[in-house]
Amino acid sequence: MQTDSSFTFVLFGGTGDLSMRKILPALYEAHRAGGMLADSGKIVAVARHVADRADYLEWVNEHVKPHVSKNGVDETAWASFLDRIEFVKIDLGKAEDFALLRDALSGRPGIRVFYLATGPSLFVPICRALASVGLNENSRIVLEKPLGYDLKSSNAINDAVGEIFAEEQIYRIDHYLGKEPVQNLLALRFGNVLFEPLWRREWVESIQITIAEELGVEARGDFYDNTGALRDMVQNHLLQLLSIVAMEPPHSMDSDSVRDEKLRVLRALKPIDPRDIGKVAVRGQYHSGVIRGSAVPAYATEPGVKPDSTTETFVAVKVEIENWRWAGVPFFLRTGKRLADRVAEIVVNFRAVPHSALGASALRGGANRLVIRLQPNETIRLYCLAKQPGEGMNLASVHLDLAFDRFFREGQMEAYQRLLLDVINGRLALFVRRDEQEAAWRWVEPILDEWAASHKPPKPYAAGTWGPAAASAMLAQHDTCWLEEEN
């Protein structure tokens, strides 16, 4: 991916957690790899609590370096990476400070990227201040989630940003879309003839998409307590994964062809009737428990969390898609903090054979199953039945295993690295378009409203388990179970 297009990457929130853990390490990796970033490309960090460039570089050395590269830091590359970094001290509350930024950016070649790694309440003031000094021309703006709290607040941000930047200048990040295995899902579906004929209601019984985390809310208790798992993970990451699993083949991989198809799925999600929410959505909150041998505290005692909080740290929800391909096929989405394992995977359960001459075991649903493991250890497994060796015709489950690290030893790219390169190079396909975001909010809102109105507390689950039992009961109603319950 050679490039010679120059850029200036302006990082608002330059000393924030995201800059430290994700953005600067990703830019370093792209720099170290060579040929991905134009030599003349610069990073301009914007922060308030840092005196000057020397101070900022000290902060970068101290805080960013430990997050860089699993394989150790290449000191030569690190030194030349620091040469790319400049610094402008701006108080984001003072619109007049933006003249400093305008002066610092004037006369530079190439595109300007403004990355807003700040709280969402600053998105609109920053955009307005940029426009007031003419910096909205020849530029792209990157917005981190959460983009709003509900449809109304997300529309308010999008309307205000949309008055300043055209939609094709706006890059809404959902980092799940930058993950290598998610890209691979597109390759698997649309690069092969094998799966597509089966990828429909006639042959698929149900689909599960799980993003399970062992971590709790870490230092983000304050933020999380006002957010909850539905807004934090379902409205964005899980619905985006669902749309990629369920979309029709796009006619090309250009930005709008892919996003149009994803949008069609999001618009076809069957609206949830508030009266059914108890049947199709489960929310939970973790209590204390044990994860990998260590005791962990209850959510309600985490710093920043209200002791009587009713915020959900777990959601399982049944989704249906109202179109010819998927009508009647349940998609079960699930996510939670402090669960038994860290795993993100998509499970496609195929239907049983219509008639078995080989005995009852061949009539079991789920005998054919595709398991796409997104993380950790990216693999794709195709489960089939085979004859057990020996006398008689006894069937047993076996699988074909595709472990990507066996085929591709090098070249894996972190999500943020891919997405930042896409922004710099003007590729929008992996960013969420406004209409997609609206459709996703529209679908989750009745659940949010009903939960808020019901005043019922979330169901408790012990940390280190797979969430409330009700999540299993919901699948049992469809004669199925979560993948880990099979084993």
Catalytic residue numbers? 237
Q: Is 232 annotated as a binding residue?
A: yes
Whichever of 315 and 344 has its CB closer to ligand BG6, that residue is 344
Count the residues of the shown chain that bind ligand BG6, applying the rule CB under 6 A: 4
Nearest approach, Cβ of 213 to ligand BG6 (angstroms)? 6
Nearest approach, Cβ of 230 to ligand BG6 (angstroms)? 12
Q: Is 179 annotated as a binding residue?
A: yes
Q: Is 48 annotated as a binding residue?
A: yes
Q: Is 4 annotated as a binding residue?
A: no
220-239 binders of ligand BG6 (CB under 6 A) = 232
Whichever of 173 and 475 has its CB closer to ligand BG6, that residue is 173
Whichever of 69 and 139 has its CB closer to ligand BG6, that residue is 69
Q: Is 145 annotated as a binding residue?
A: yes
Q: Is 175 annotated as a binding residue?
A: yes
Secondary structure of the chain as H, E, C letters: CCCCCCEEEEEECCCCHHHHHHHHHHHHHHHHHCCCCCCCCEEEEEECCCCCHHHHHHHHHHHHHHHCCCCCCCHHHHHHHHHHEEEEECCCCCHHHHHHHHHHHCCCCCEEEEEECCCHHHHHHHHHHHHHCCCCCCEEEEECCCCCCCHHHHHHHHHHHHCCCCHHHEEECCHHHHCHHHHHHHHHHHHCCCCHHHCCCCCEEEEEEEEECCCCCCCCHHHHHCCHHHHHHHHHHHHHHHHHHHCCCCCCCCHHHHHHHHHHHHHCECCCCHHHHHHHEEEEEEECEEECCEEECCHHHCCCCCCCCCCCCEEEEEECECCCCCCCCCEEEEEECCECCCEEEEEEEECCCCCCCCCHHHHCCCCCEEEEEEECCCEEEEEEEEECCCCCCCEEEEEEEEEHHHHCCCCCCCHHHHHHHHHHHCCCCCCCCHHHHHHHHHHHHHHHHHHHHHCCCCEEEECCECCCHHHHHHHHCCCCCCHHHHC
Q: Do residues 158 and 434 touch, judged by C-beta distance below 8 A?
A: yes
Q: Checking DSSP bridges between strand 42-47 and strand 170-172, what pairing results, if any?
A: unpaired
Whichever of 127 and 344 has its CB closer to ligand BG6, that residue is 344
Nearest approach, Cβ of 413 to ligand BG6 (angstroms)? 14
Q: Is 387 annotated as a binding residue?
A: no
Whichever of 237 and 318 has its CB closer to ligand BG6, that residue is 237
Nearest approach, Cβ of 201 to ligand BG6 (angstroms)? 29
Of all residues in the shown chain, the one whose CB is closest to ligand BG6 is 232
Our finding on whether 213 is near ligand BG6 (CB under 6 A) is: yes
Our finding on whether 438 is near ligand BG6 (CB under 6 A) is: no
Whichever of 41 and 216 has its CB closer to ligand BG6, that residue is 216
Mask 150-179, x = binds ligand BG6 (CB under 6 A)? -------------------------x----
Our finding on whether 378 is near ligand BG6 (CB under 6 A) is: no
344-363 binders of ligand BG6 (CB under 6 A) = 344
Nearest approach, Cβ of 337 to ligand BG6 (angstroms)? 7
Q: Is 92 annotated as a binding residue?
A: yes
Nearest approach, Cβ of 328 to ligand BG6 (angstroms)? 30
Write out the binding residues for NADP(+). Answer: 48, 91-92, 145
Write out the binding residues for substrate. Answer: 175, 179, 213, 232, 337
Write out the binding residues. Answer: 48, 91-92, 145, 175, 179, 213, 232, 337
Residues that bind ligand BG6 (CB under 6 A): 175, 213, 232, 344
